[in-house]
Amino acid sequence: MLPRCAFSVCHVLVLVLCLSSAEDFDWTKNDHGSFYYGTFPAGFSWGAGSSAYQTEGAWDKDGKGLSIWDVFSHKKGKIQQNDTGDSSCEGYHKFKDDVSLMKELKLNHYRFSISWPRIIPTGIKSDHINEKGIQYYDELINHLLESKITPIVTLYHWDLPQPLLFFLLCDCIPCFSRSYKRNMVLHSRMVHIHLWSVAVEGYETGEHAPGLRLRGTGAYRAAHHIIKAHAKVWHSYDTQWRAKQKGLVGISLSGDWGEPVDISNQKDIEAAERYVQFYLGWFATPIFHGDYPQVMKDFIGRKSVQQGLGTSRLPTFSPQEKSYIKGTCDFLGIGHFTTRYITQKSNPSGRSSGSYFTDRDLAELVDPRWPDPGSEWLYSVPWGFRRLLNFVKTQYGNPMVYVTENGVSEKMLCTELCDDWRIQYYKDYINEMLKAIKDGANVKGYTAWSLLDKFEWDEGYSERFGLYYVDFRNKNKPRYPKASVQFYKRIISSNGFPNQREVENWRRKAVETCSSSNQLLAAARRKSKDHAEMPKVWPVHDEV
């Protein structure tokens, strides 16, 4: 066992941050092109990911406190089938088995998140540290490093301690920073994750924890404090830890691509750019350029005036804050899944009509020909990935990029390990990423989402993103490889796509191997006499 913090000097990248001036993105050039056979640059990092609440289980074990997702999922009617993450994949107890799966896949890195209620059970202001939580993450990280897998640690993936329910609506950055400095075991790379979803779905629509519906203000306020908190953590690490640990601190942003319905129509082009700026640019532009995108300030400000408000619903950064925030990103993480067609649509601006969605003045459309194998929001549109990566290159000075999430779900009642549609998705999206690198995008690594099937937030266990199938009906939560495991493993081993014949052979062999996995799963189910029920509602928590 490595001593605590021994991992902090291992497997580290060095970055000279480049913040060159933004270029203009060419909206009229969209070359879909044919499949490109070739390999990735030497040293490209291949990985898979997970998050704490979605996989760990053990929700009330070893001193762990309540998170906002524990409380939210225990309220009847919030999650499909009233599922919870109480046991999920039992990753807390099975992490050594999962690292063995990663070794079999030949992963270079693994992205996982820290459950802060497992470390600080009663909230950030408390001095009580749960040593068993620290020990768990120590052991996980050391086990990864012993297996020559680089840990990419997500500091926040939605499971805020329940006592901090309203934390993101308040300017509590100093106590946030103190806690993260005091309690965090810092690692070679760290990210904050999916900030768009945290803000919009947690504080605007209420679809996700903590379930607040603060229309037109909640998302903007939450995002504002998230950005400032991120900057505080980056500076704290930069001044106190970087020289010793030589690690990197970045931010991971989710970003769907928005494509103009008509690339010859300037209004559609402007609407598509608004879509991307209100999504990715909302967080990326302050971090790379010091302030919110001008289009957000203009549109939200004008809508606020039309509502009769004295000030914009979009908060403002002071000159000192702009300077403090700008440049706080050693690398940019991109979580990308799908694309939308975008067209101009004017929304009313009445006194009660303001919201994040109506502020944008646009409509989202999909092409009925796009494959949609699982989640209702996720269509397979590979060329949008290349477009997004090139947008990042031109807008933010071609920063170092790690793809922190990319994958596809299935939504079916029957068990199917021969996931040919996932193989196609990974093949096409990874190839578009390769094309973007050929275009000059500075992409250094890719993370398949996800290693395991897991709890999918408000969809419960009805959707599966995993490379490995998890039998949630079995109390031991066994894992079974899907066909996509073998296909992804071949991409990693070859560092890309060497030639057409070989890639077609990978697919054929992958589909052949999944038949035996299906038989093993079927046999295990026939033998099993003790299938655990899926976790249901716990009724004891107060309503927000």
Q: Do residues 488 and 424 make contact, with C-beta atoms less than 8 angstroms apart?
A: no
CA 288 to the chain's CA centroid: 19
Residue-wise DSSP of 394-453: HHTTS--EEEEEE---B--SS-----HHHHHHHHHHHHHHHHHHHHT--EEEEEES-SB-
Q: Do residues 26 and 268 make contact, with C-beta atoms less than 8 angstroms apart?
A: no
Residue 158 confidence (pLDDT): 83
Q: Do residues 401 and 441 make contact, with C-beta atoms less than 8 angstroms apart?
A: yes
| CA distances (Å), origin 498, targets 40, 179, 415 | 10, 48, 32
Residue 296 confidence (pLDDT): 98
Structure tokens at 319: 């000159």
Instruction: With H, G, I as helix, E, B as strand and everything else as coil, classify residue 333.
Output: strand
Residue 10 confidence (pLDDT): 32
Q: For residue 370, give the DSSP letter.
A: S
Residues 235-251 pLDDT 10s: 988 998 889 888 889 99
Q: Is the omega angle on the peptide bond into residue 498 within 30 degrees of 0, that is, cis?
A: no
Determine the Cα–Cα distance for residues 185 and 121; give it in Å rounded to an integer.
16
Residue 211's closest CA among 348, 81, 74, 97?
A: 74
Residues 119-145 pLDDT 10s: 988 765 556 789 999 999 999 999 999
HSE value, Cβ hemisphere, 13 Å, CA-based, for 418: 11
First and final CA of the chain: distance in angstroms? 43
Residue 159's closest CA among 457, 492, 493?
A: 457
Residue 247 confidence (pLDDT): 86
Residues 443-486 pLDDT 10s: 999 999 999 999 999 999 999 999 999 999 999 999 999 999 99
Determine the Cα–Cα distance for residues 505 and 484; give it in Å rounded to an integer.
13
Residues 252-305 pLDDT 10s: 999 999 999 999 999 999 999 999 999 999 999 999 999 999 999 999 999 999
Determine the Cα–Cα distance for residues 393 and 401; give it in Å rounded to an integer.
9
**Is the model's pLDDT at 526 over the cut of 60?**
yes
Q: Given the structure tokens 């999909």, which residue do they identify?
A: 366
Q: Do residues 496 and 113 make contact, with C-beta atoms less than 8 angstroms apart?
A: no
Residues 184-199 pLDDT 10s: 444 445 665 668 888 9
**Is the model's pLDDT at 225 over the cut of 50?**
yes
Residue 68 confidence (pLDDT): 92
Instruction: With H, G, I as helix, E, B as strand and everything else as coil, classify residue 142.
Output: helix
Residue 125 confidence (pLDDT): 57
What residue type is 491 in one-letter code? I
Determine the Cα–Cα distance for residues 410 and 456; give it in Å rounded to an integer.
12
Residues 384-438 pLDDT 10s: 999 999 999 999 999 999 999 999 998 766 667 999 999 999 999 999 999 999 9
Residues 486-522 pLDDT 10s: 999 999 999 999 999 999 999 999 988 888 888 888 8
| CA distances (Å), origin 49, targets 113, 150, 467 | 9, 12, 10
CA 401 to the chain's CA centroid: 14
Q: What is the H or E stretch that residue 75 is in?
A: none
CA 31 to the chain's CA centroid: 27
3-state DSSP of 200-231: HHHHCCCCCCCCCCCCCCHHHHHHHHHHHHHH
Q: Specify whether 502 is catalytic.
A: no
**Is the model's pLDDT at 538 over the cut of 50?**
no
In the chain, what are the domains? 44-533 (3.20.20.80)
Determine the Cα–Cα distance for residues 1 and 304; give it in Å rounded to an integer.
57
Question: Which residue is catalytic, options 405, 432, 459, 463?
Answer: 405
Q: What is the mean pLDDT of the segment spanning 92-103? A: 98
Q: Do residues 120 and 65 make contact, with C-beta atoms less than 8 angstroms apart?
A: yes
Q: What is the largest CA-CA distance in the chain?
A: 68
Q: Given the structure tokens 């490209």, which residue do they identify?
A: 44
Determine the Cα–Cα distance for residues 81 and 458; give it in Å rounded to an integer.
10
Instruction: With H, G, I as helix, E, B as strand and everything else as coil, classify residue 533.
Output: coil
3-state DSSP of 18-50: CCCCCCCCCCCCCCCCCCCCEECCCCCEEEEEC
